[in-house]
Amino acid sequence: MSGNPDFRNQAFGLWFQRRASGIKEVRTSNKVFLARKTLSKKRHIEKYKKCQRKIGTYQNRKIAGSESFK
C-alpha cells in the first residue's frame, strides 16, 4: 500500500469525508473496525497454534522415524 500514494490519498479522502459528515459515524465505524481487528487477531492466533501443533507432531514423527509421514 505504501507504494501506491493514490490509493492512500483516496482512502484518507473517504475517511475525511466521513469525519466531516459526522464524528459519531466515525466513532461507530471505528468500534466495528476494532472489533473486527481483535476477531481476526484471535483467528490468526488460533491458526498459528494449530500450525505449531502440526509442526510439533511432524518433528516428533520424524525423530521417531515413522514411515507413514515421509
When pLDDT is cut at 50, 70 and 90, the band that residue 70 belongs to is very low
| Residue range of the domain that includes 43 | 5-69
| Rounded Cα gap, residues 2 and 61, in angstroms | 43
| Rounded Cα gap, residues 49 and 61, in angstroms | 18
Residue-wise pLDDT tens digits, 20-66: 555 444 455 556 666 566 666 677 667 767 766 666 665 555 555 55
Residue-wise pLDDT tens digits, 53-68: 666 665 555 555 555 5
Question: What pLDDT is stored for residue 8 in this prediction?
Answer: 58
Which residue carries 466531516 as its cell? 20
CA angle 62, 68, 70 (to 5 degrees): 55
Would you say the pTM of this structure is higher than 0.85?
A: no
Number of compact structural domains in the chain: 1
Structure-block grid coordinates of residue 32: 466495528
| Rounded Cα gap, residues 66 and 62, in angstroms | 6
